[in-house]
Amino acid sequence: MKQRLEPGERGEVYYEAVSAGWRAVQYYRDNAGRRRKGTGVGKTKDAARRTAKRNIDAAIASDGETFKKGTLLEVAVREWLKTYRTLVADGSRAPTTLDQYERYARVEIYKTIGRTRISDLTTGRVDQFIADLRGRKGFATAKAVRSILNGTCGMLVRRDVLRYNPVRDVARLEQGRRQAPRALSIDEAARFLAMLDGSEFARRRDLPDLMRFLLATGVRIGEALALQWSEVDLEAQVVQIDWTVTRVKGRGLVRSPVKTETSERSLQLPIWCVEILRRRAVGQAPDALVFTDAKGGLRDVGNTGKDLRKARGEEFAWVKSHTARRTVATLLDVQGLSARAIADQLGHARPSMTQDVYMGRKIVGQVTSPLDGLFASTNEEGPARNADTDGDAA
C-alpha cells in the first residue's frame, strides 16, 4: 500500500516517450493538501525530470503566495501574472495584454533571468538583461518584458520581500527616431477611396464603406468592427462607441468594452456617412453588426488590416487603417477645433482634470459634423454588407 503524500511531498517519477523525447510525470501534494500532477518534457529523461522538478517547485511556491529571498524570480512572475489575471476577470485589464504578457514570460523570462534568485536580483543585472533583449528582439519585446519585471518586483516590494524595486532605475528604453505620422490630404483621401471603389477585391472585402466610416469618425478599426446597429441613431445622426473587437485566448473573437471611460463616446456623423449607413441598415436587426465577416460575425482586426494592405496599391503603400485617425485629427485641427474636442473625437486621454470637471463630455460637433462634405461614396448602389473574408475572420 502506497504511503499518503504530505503537503509539499512528491511521489516517484515515471516517464513517457513523446515526440520531443521524454515526459517526466510526478504526483505531489500542494500546500493545501490537494494531490496534483506535475510534468516536464526534455530530450532525455534527466532533462525531463529537471523540467518537471522546476515546474513543481514553481507551482508549490506560487500556490502558497509567499516568497523567500532564495525563491526564483520565475515563481514571482507566475504569481504576478495570476494577480493580473484577476484584474482581467474584473474587466480592468485587457485580456489581449494578459495573453501577450504570458507569452513573453514563457519565451523570454522563465528560462533566462527567471532562474535568478530574488535575493540576487539587482538593478545592474536587470538593466543588462533588458539591454541585451533590446538588441536581440527589439524595442517592443524589451518594453513588454520590462513591464512584467516591473510589476513583479513592485509586488515583491509590497510583500516586504524586496526593499526596493530594482527595475525602477533601469535605463530608459529608447525606441529611436520614428517617421513622423502621416495623414491623407483631402485630395489623397479622395483618390484613395476612388481606388477602393474601383477594386473588385476591396468591394468584396467591404473596404470602401469601412474606410469611409473610419474617415467619418476617426474611430479605431476594432471599434468600427464591433459596432452594432443598436448603437447607431440615423435620425439623430449619432453613433455610440462603447465596444471593440479583441481576440481572447481560448474564446476567439469577442466584443470587449473599450479600455477606458475616455474611449466611450458619442460622435456626430457627417450626412454623407449617414446615407451610407442608411443603405446598409435595410433589413438589419438591432443586434446585428454594421461591418461583418462573410457569415455575419465579427471581423478579425488583423485580417482586415491585411485586406487593406493588399488593396491599397503602390501609391498608397503607407496607408493603414490608423491613417484615418490621423487624417481626422489633422482635418479637425485645420478647422480650428480645440485639442479637447479632437481628443474627445478620437477617444484619447482627457487633456486635464480641470477640463474634465468643467467641460462636459458631450457629443462632438453638436449640430453637424465638422467632416460634412468630405469623402462621400461614389457608389450609389453600395457594396455588399458582408465582407468576403475567405474564412479568415472567425
CATH code: domain of residue 99 = 1.10.150.130
39 and 131 part of one domain: no
Domain that includes residue 231, residue range: 186-358
* Predicted TM-score (pTM) of this structure: 0.64
- Tell me the pLDDT of the chain averaged across its residues: 82
97 and 166 part of one domain: yes
> For the chain, what percent of residues have pLDDT higher than 90?
47
200 and 267 part of one domain: yes
pLDDT of residue 274: 93
Neighbours of 7 (CB within 10 A): 14
CATH code: domain of residue 292 = 1.10.443.10
Whether 159 shows a pLDDT value over 60: the answer reads yes
Q: For 41-76, how does the pLDDT look when each residue is reduced to its tens digit (9 = 90+)?
A: 889 999 999 988 888 876 766 554 567 778 899 999
58 and 129 part of one domain: no
Q: How would residue 115 be classed by pLDDT, with cut points 50, 70 and 90?
A: very high
| Residue 274 cell numbers, joined | 449617414
239 and 307 part of one domain: yes
pLDDT of residue 193: 93
Maximum alpha-carbon separation in the chain = 84
Q: How would residue 160 be classed by pLDDT, with cut points 50, 70 and 90?
A: confident
Report the domain count for the chain.
3
Judged by average pLDDT, the poorest of 17-26, 100-109, 330-339 is 330-339
Judged by average pLDDT, the poorest of 134-143, 334-343, 350-359 is 350-359
348 and 201 part of one domain: yes
Whether 239 shows a pLDDT value over 80: the answer reads yes
20 and 84 part of one domain: no
102-110: long-range contacts at Cβ-Cβ below 8 A with a sequence spacing of 24 or more? Answer: 104/141, 104/144, 104/145, 104/148, 105/77, 105/78, 105/81, 105/148, 108/133, 108/137, 108/141, 108/145, 109/73, 109/74, 109/77, 109/145, 109/148, 109/149, 110/74, 110/77
Q: For 194-238, how does the pLDDT look when each residue is reduced to its tens digit (9 = 90+)?
A: 999 999 999 999 999 999 999 999 899 999 999 999 999 999 999
Residue 134 placed within a domain: yes
Contact 40, 52 (CB under 8 A): yes
pLDDT of residue 275: 94
211 and 308 part of one domain: yes
49 and 74 part of one domain: no
Final residue before a domain boundary, out of 126, 150, 175? 175
Instruction: Quote the CA–CA distance of 84 and 79 in Å, as a whole number.
Output: 9
Q: What is the mean pLDDT of residues 354-378?
A: 45
Partners of residue 18 on adjacent β-strands: 21
